[in-house]
Chain A
Amino acid sequence: MSTDPSPILTQASPQSVVNNFSITVGTENGSGSQTSNLTLLRAFFKMGIPVSGKNLFPSNIQGLPTWYTIRLSKDGYIARSDTTEIVIAMNAKTFARDLALVEPGGVFFYDDDIKQPIQRKDITVYPMPVKQISVASDAPSNLRSYVANMVYVGVLAQIIQIDVDKICQALEFHFKGKQKPIDLNFNVVKSAMEWAAENLKKSDPFSVAPMDATSEFIMSSGNTAGALGSIYGGIQFAAWYPITPASSLAESLNQYLPKLRKDPKTNKNTFAVVQAEDELAAIGMAIGAGWGGLRSLTSTSGPGISLMSEYAGLAYFAEVPIVVWNVQRMGPSTGLPTRTSQGDINLTYYLGHGDTKHVVLLPGSVNECFEFGWKAFDLAETFQTPVFVLSDLDLGMNQWMTPPFAYPDKPIERGKVLWEEDLDKLEDWGRYLDLDGDGIPYRTVPGNRHQRSGYFTRGTGHDDYANYSEEPDQWVNNMDRLNQKFELARTAVPDAELFPNDGAKIGVIAFGSVDPAVKEAQDLLLSEEIAVDYLRLRALPITAKVREFVRAHERVYVVEMNRDGQMHQILTIEIPDCAMSLISLPQNDGLPLTATWIENAILNKERN
C-alpha cells in the first residue's frame, strides 16, 4: 500500500530521516508501558503519519520482558519492520539485547538507573533520568512507577519533535477524558520534554513531521471491529469463555451492545451474552441459540476450537447456523499464547469427525473484521451451517489504522425460515427436505406454534423429515446434499482480491494479517525487477478466481504463518492439476511477518 503522502514541513538536514523508521520499546509487562506506547502510536497517527504498532508481550501479568514496536512509514507500509532504528531501554534484564537491536546509525534511549556498559560507537545514546523526573512529578508514590513510562514519551517527543498537542489528544482518548490521570501523565511528559530540551543535544537524524496521510483512517483492533460488525449484523446471542487473544472480542460485545442494541421504545436488550464455564459449553449454548433462530456467535482461540470440535461437527451435520471466531495464537498445545500465528487453518476448515468441512472467512484487515462480522451471520443463516472467522492475535489485539467501518450495504439475510403462516401454505415440509433443489432445506425454530413446526434435531442419521434412520441411501443422500450446499457456498463467500503487477509471471497467495507485508514485499521485489501478482484469499472454500489465478501463473508462492504450509496443502488438494506450481513459504516464529522475510524467501527460490 502506498498512500503517496508528502511531508508538509521538514527542517532537518539532507541526511535526516523523517517519518520513516521503527521504534522498539523494551519494558517489563505490568508496568503501565502499554499506556505510553499507545500514546506514542496515537500521537503519530494524529500527526497524519502512517503508523503501525505491535505489542510483543509475554504470557504473564507482571514482571517479564515485553516489547512494543512502532513503525512510521511515510510510504504507508504498516507491516512490522525487521529493523529498528530507535530503541528505548527501560528494562535492565533485556538491556544488552535491546542495545544490540539498534540499527547502525540508530538511537538508543535508556533509563539511567540501569548501570550497564554501552560499548557501541555506531549509534547515538541518550540517557533518561526516569526516576528523577517521576519522583519530581506530582504523582502519588503508588503511581510513580506507572507514570515513569511517560518519561520516555516526553524525552522521545523532544528529540524527534512529536507534536505535544497530539500527545495530549492521545492521553485524553486513553483516559476517556478523565482530567486527573490526563494531567498526571501529561505533566510527566512535559517535565521530560523540558529536561531533554535543557540537557540533551540532538545528534541523530531521526524526526517526525506532520503529514496528511491518516485523516481517512480510524484506529481500532480486529477484535473490537469483529464485535462491532457482529452487532451491526444483528447478533442476538453470544457465549464465550476467556482466552487470549480472543477475550477482547466478547468484552467488546459487552461494551458496545448496551449502547447500540437496546430497544429504543422499551429499553430492553435485543441480545444476550453469557460467559460460559468452558468452550464446550460456549459452543453448546451458541448452537442452542442458533437452532432457536437467534443470530448466534462464540469467540475463542485454538485450544477452544479443539474443545468445540464435537459440537461443531454436530452443527454441520444438523445444519445449525452459528458464527465462530477463532482469533489464532501459536500452537500446538498452550504454545505461545501471546504470539500470533495462522496455524489453525486445517483444524478449523475440517473441524469435526467424519466428513466435515466448513465455510471459513479470512479477514485481512481490521476493517474487514467489521465487514465479516456481519457477513458471517448472513452466510451462516443462508447456508444453515457454522461459519468460522479466522483472525489472529496480531489483527485481533493490536491497534491498526484502518478505513472507517462502513454500514452494511446489504439487508439482513435470515435464510429459509418458516413461520406459522408459511407452514399453512406448505403441504409437504420436512426439516431436511430439499424443496428448492439447491441443497438448502427450510427450517422452523422453537416458538413456532404451528402443529407441523416441531421436529427432532439429532446428531444421528436421519431422513428428510428428521426421523432417525440408518438407511445407507438416506445417509449418502444427506451427506451429498451437505456437499452440494458447500459447493454453493463456494460461489457466495467473499471473493479473493487481486493486486496485480504488470507482466508478472509469478504469483503470491496469502491471507489475513500478513497482507501488509505481502504488499510491501511486492514493491521490494519490483525494485529487484521481479514482478509478482498477489491474490489475497478472503474465504474458504476457494472460489473459481483462485483456481484461475493459480493456473495463470508459472509459480505461485503461498505465504502463511505456520510450519506445515496448511493453506498450501488445501490449495494443492483443491487444484491438483497445479500442485507442482504451488510453492509453500511458511514462517512461524510468533512475530508478525515482515516484508523483507517474504522478499528474501521469494528471491531465494527465484534465484536458485
Chain B
Amino acid sequence: MAATLSPKVNLVDLSKADYRGATTTLCQGCGHNSITSQIISACYDLSITPEDIVKFSGIGCSSKAPTYFLSRAFGFNGVHGRMPSLATGALFADTSLTGIGMSGDGDSASIGMGQFKHVMRRNLPLVYIIANNGVYGLTKGQFSATAEEGLNLKGQGQNQYMPIDIVWEAVISHATFVARSFAGDPKQVRELLKAALSHRGIAVLDIISPCVTFNNQDDSHHSYAWGRDHEVALHDLSYVPVAEEIMVDYDDGEAKEVTMHDGSRIMLRKVDKDYDPTDRANILCMLEDANRRQELLTGLIYIDTEQESLFDMYNLPDEALNRLTPDRIRPSRESIDEINALMF
C-alpha cells in the first residue's frame, strides 16, 4: 500500500529524520543520547520547524550533544560554563526563535555557576538542559560539583565536599520553570521538554543522565540503578498542545492543570494534595525532605507563568532585530546637529 511506504510526517510535513543530527560520538548507553533522542521526539511531536530552534552549549560531553540533534538548526558551541551569555546575546537577534541550551553539571555547576544563576534572574526564554552525571567525562572521571559526598570514583578517591543541587539553585535564583528528570525515564523527559519548549522564560531541566564509563556504579546517585530504585515521580505529567482537546476526564483533585503562555497546558496527575508547583518556600521543604529520604524526586517542580521574560522588558520591535535594514539602525543626518548642540 502506498500510504505505508511514505514516511510518517508531522503537521509541518517533516519526518523524524528531519530532526536528527550527526551520529553520536558519545559512549554507548550514555544518558545524554537518551536525552538527545527525546529532544528529537519532542520537536517532531510539536511540529517545530528545525530552523526555528537555536542550539547552544558550553564545554564537556553534554555540550557535544547539540551536534547530535536538529542538524538543520543553527548551533553555537561556546566556551566552558558560558553558554547562558552566548544564548542571551544570540536570542536578542530574533526573539521568535526558541533556544535550547545543553549543558552539564561540570559546565553549569562549577565554572558556569555565575552565568547559570544570572540567566535565571533575567528569565531568558531558553530551555536550559543540564545533563547531570556527577562526573567530568571528557577529562576522564573527576568529581563534579553535583557529586554526592562520599562518592568513590576510580583514581579519584572519595568525594569530601557537599553537592550542589541544580534544582535548589534554580528555584532560589527565580527560575520560572524548574524540573528534574531521569534519562532512564524517557517519557517523562519528553513531556517535560514539550512543556519547557512552550514556556516563555527560563526552563531548567536537571536531568540525571548517567555516565556509563565513569560513574555508573549501583550506589552512585547518578547511576541508572540508583535512579531506577530511587526515582519518585511527583506526578504523571502530560503536555497538551494548544490545538488539542484533553481527552480524559479527571476527578476533582486528581489532576492539576497549568496553562502555559501560548495556551498549551500541562496536566499533572496523581499529585500529592499539598503540592503546589508555584509555592517556592514549600518546594524547598519538599526537596529537603526528599533528599533526606534519598529519593530522586522528578517531575515539574516549580513553575511561574506570570513573570515577564527578558524580552518583554526591552520594548523590542515585532520583527527580528537582525532583519532591520541599515536605514532603521542609523539615526538621521539631521540628528547629528542636535547631538553636537547637546555637547558643550
B315 at the interface (CB under 8 A from A): yes
Chain B residue with the shortest CB-CB distance to A292: B93
A161 at the interface (CB under 8 A from B): no
> In B10-54, which residues have CB < 8 Å from any A CB?
22, 49-52, 54
> In A456-476, which residues have CB < 8 Å from any B CB?
456-460, 467-468
> In B39-97, which residues have CB < 8 Å from any A CB?
49-52, 54-56, 66-67, 71-79, 82, 84-94, 96-97
In the complex, which residues of chain B have a beta carbon less than 8 angstroms from the beta carbon of A235?
A: 329
Chain B residue with the shortest CB-CB distance to A231: B331
Assembly CA distance A291 to B67 (angstroms): 18
Contact A285 B321 (CB under 8 A): no
In the complex, which residues of chain B have a beta carbon less than 8 angstroms from the beta carbon of A457?
A: 74-77
Closest Cβ of chain A to B321, distance in Å, is 5
The 0/1 profile, CB within 8 Å of B marked 1, for residues 255-278 of chain A is 010001101001111111010111
Contact B343 A219 (CB under 8 A): yes
Assembly CA distance A459 to B60 (angstroms): 12
Chain A residue with the shortest CB-CB distance to B80: A310
Assembly CA distance A292 to B316 (angstroms): 16
A220 at the interface (CB under 8 A from B): yes
Contact A454 B73 (CB under 8 A): yes
Assembly CA distance A450 to B122 (angstroms): 31
CB within 8 Å for A405 and B75 given contacts A218-B343, A288-B87: no
Which among B84, B90, B326, B339 is the interface contact of A292 at CB below 8 angstroms? B90
CB within 8 Å for A277 and B118 given contacts A228-B339, A287-B86: yes
B292 at the interface (CB under 8 A from A): no
In the complex, which residues of chain B have a beta carbon less than 8 angstroms from the beta carbon of A236?
A: 321-322, 324, 329
In the complex, which residues of chain A have a beta carbon less than 8 angstroms from the beta carbon of B4?
A: none
In the complex, which residues of chain A have a beta carbon less than 8 angstroms from the beta carbon of B273?
A: none
Chain A residue with the shortest CB-CB distance to B322: A293
A406 at the interface (CB under 8 A from B): yes
Assembly CA distance A233 to B72 (angstroms): 32
Which among B89, B117, B323 is the interface contact of A288 at CB below 8 angstroms? B89
A104 at the interface (CB under 8 A from B): no
Contact B329 A284 (CB under 8 A): no
Contact A287 B89 (CB under 8 A): yes
In the complex, which residues of chain B have a beta carbon less than 8 angstroms from the beta carbon of A271?
A: 321, 329
The interface-forming segment of A10-18, A408-416, A542-550 is: A408-416
Contact A288 B86 (CB under 8 A): yes
In the complex, which residues of chain B have a beta carbon less than 8 angstroms from the beta carbon of A411?
A: 326
B336 at the interface (CB under 8 A from A): yes
B162 at the interface (CB under 8 A from A): no
Contact B115 A237 (CB under 8 A): no
Chain B residue with the shortest CB-CB distance to A399: B344
A517 at the interface (CB under 8 A from B): no
Which among A269, A310, A407, A455 is the interface contact of B315 at CB below 8 angstroms? A269
Contact B326 A449 (CB under 8 A): no
CB within 8 Å for A405 and B340 given contacts A236-B324, A277-B115: yes
A110 at the interface (CB under 8 A from B): no
In the complex, which residues of chain A have a beta carbon less than 8 angstroms from the beta carbon of B322?
A: 236, 292-294, 445-447
Closest Cβ of chain A to B97, distance in Å, is 6
Contact A468 B90 (CB under 8 A): no
Closest Cβ of chain A to B36, distance in Å, is 14
CB within 8 Å for A232 and B114 given contacts A288-B88, A447-B320, A460-B77: no
B317 at the interface (CB under 8 A from A): yes
Contact A288 B90 (CB under 8 A): yes
Contact B97 A447 (CB under 8 A): yes
Contact B94 A263 (CB under 8 A): no
Contact A219 B344 (CB under 8 A): yes
Closest Cβ of chain B to A36, distance in Å, is 15
Contact A292 B49 (CB under 8 A): no
B328 at the interface (CB under 8 A from A): yes
In the complex, which residues of chain A have a beta carbon less than 8 angstroms from the beta carbon of B344?
A: 42, 45-46, 170, 173, 218-220, 399
A192 at the interface (CB under 8 A from B): no
Contact A281 B82 (CB under 8 A): yes
Assembly CA distance A288 to B101 (angstroms): 13
Interface size on B, residues (CB 8 A): 60
Closest Cβ of chain B to A38, distance in Å, is 9
In the complex, which residues of chain A have a beta carbon less than 8 angstroms from the beta carbon of B73?
A: 454
A441 at the interface (CB under 8 A from B): no
Closest Cβ of chain B to A56, distance in Å, is 21
A296 at the interface (CB under 8 A from B): yes
CB within 8 Å for A284 and B331 given contacts A289-B93, A450-B51, A456-B75: no
CB within 8 Å for A232 and B330 given contacts A272-B321, A291-B90, A311-B82: yes
Assembly CA distance A521 to B165 (angstroms): 64
B140 at the interface (CB under 8 A from A): no
> In B161-181, which residues have CB < 8 Å from any A CB?
none
Contact B330 A234 (CB under 8 A): yes
Assembly CA distance A274 to B89 (angstroms): 9
Contact A268 B51 (CB under 8 A): no
B6 at the interface (CB under 8 A from A): no
Contact B85 A281 (CB under 8 A): yes
In the complex, which residues of chain B have a beta carbon less than 8 angstroms from the beta carbon of A598?
A: none
In the complex, which residues of chain A have a beta carbon less than 8 angstroms from the beta carbon of B79?
A: 284, 310-311, 314, 459
> In B101-121, which residues have CB < 8 Å from any A CB?
114-115, 117-118
In the complex, which residues of chain B have a beta carbon less than 8 angstroms from the beta carbon of A42?
A: 344
A535 at the interface (CB under 8 A from B): no
Assembly CA distance A311 to B51 (angstroms): 26
In the complex, which residues of chain A have a beta carbon less than 8 angstroms from the beta carbon of B76?
A: 288, 291, 456-458
In the complex, which residues of chain B have a beta carbon less than 8 angstroms from the beta carbon of A453?
A: 51, 74
The 0/1 profile, CB within 8 Å of A marked 1, for residues 324-342 of chain B is 1010111101011001100
A537 at the interface (CB under 8 A from B): no
Assembly CA distance A328 to B23 (angstroms): 47
> In A220-241, which residues have CB < 8 Å from any B CB?
220, 224, 228, 231-237, 239
In the complex, which residues of chain A have a beta carbon less than 8 angstroms from the beta carbon of B50?
A: 454
A516 at the interface (CB under 8 A from B): no
A501 at the interface (CB under 8 A from B): no
Contact A239 B89 (CB under 8 A): yes
Which among B51, B88, B92, B114 is the interface contact of A449 at CB below 8 angstroms? B51
Interface centre among A276, A449, A453, A456 (most CB of B within 10 A): A456
Assembly CA distance A466 to B174 (angstroms): 36
In the complex, which residues of chain A have a beta carbon less than 8 angstroms from the beta carbon of B324?
A: 236, 270
In the complex, which residues of chain B have a beta carbon less than 8 angstroms from the beta carbon of A282?
A: 85
Which among B54, B92, B117, B336 is the interface contact of A294 at CB below 8 angstroms? B92
Contact B340 A261 (CB under 8 A): no
Interface centre among A218, A290, A447 (most CB of B within 10 A): A447
Which among B77, B115, B316, B335 is the interface contact of A280 at CB below 8 angstroms? B115
Contact B82 A280 (CB under 8 A): yes
Closest Cβ of chain A to B90, distance in Å, is 4
In the complex, which residues of chain A have a beta carbon less than 8 angstroms from the beta carbon of B335?
A: 260
CB within 8 Å for A406 and B89 given contacts A218-B344, A234-B330, A270-B324: no
Closest Cβ of chain A to B39, distance in Å, is 15
Which among B75, B89, B90, B316 is the interface contact of A269 at CB below 8 angstroms? B316
In the complex, which residues of chain A have a beta carbon less than 8 angstroms from the beta carbon of B75?
A: 454-457
Contact B340 A447 (CB under 8 A): no
In the complex, which residues of chain A have a beta carbon less than 8 angstroms from the beta carbon of B328?
A: 263, 270
Closest Cβ of chain A to B336, distance in Å, is 5
A448 at the interface (CB under 8 A from B): yes
Assembly CA distance A445 to B89 (angstroms): 13
Assembly CA distance A455 to B328 (angstroms): 28
Offer 24 A-B interface pairs, CB within 8 angstroms, sorted by A: A46-B344, A232-B336, A237-B92, A239-B88, A266-B317, A269-B314, A269-B317, A270-B321, A270-B328, A280-B85, A281-B88, A284-B86, A287-B89, A295-B329, A404-B340, A412-B326, A446-B74, A448-B51, A450-B51, A451-B51, A454-B72, A454-B73, A455-B74, A467-B22
Given contacts A239-B88, A288-B56, A447-B93, list 17 more A-B pairs with CB under 8 A. A170-B344, A234-B329, A236-B329, A269-B314, A280-B82, A281-B84, A284-B86, A288-B88, A288-B89, A289-B92, A289-B93, A311-B82, A412-B326, A444-B74, A449-B51, A456-B75, A459-B79
The 3 closest A-B pairs by CB, nearest first: A292-B93, A288-B89, A284-B85
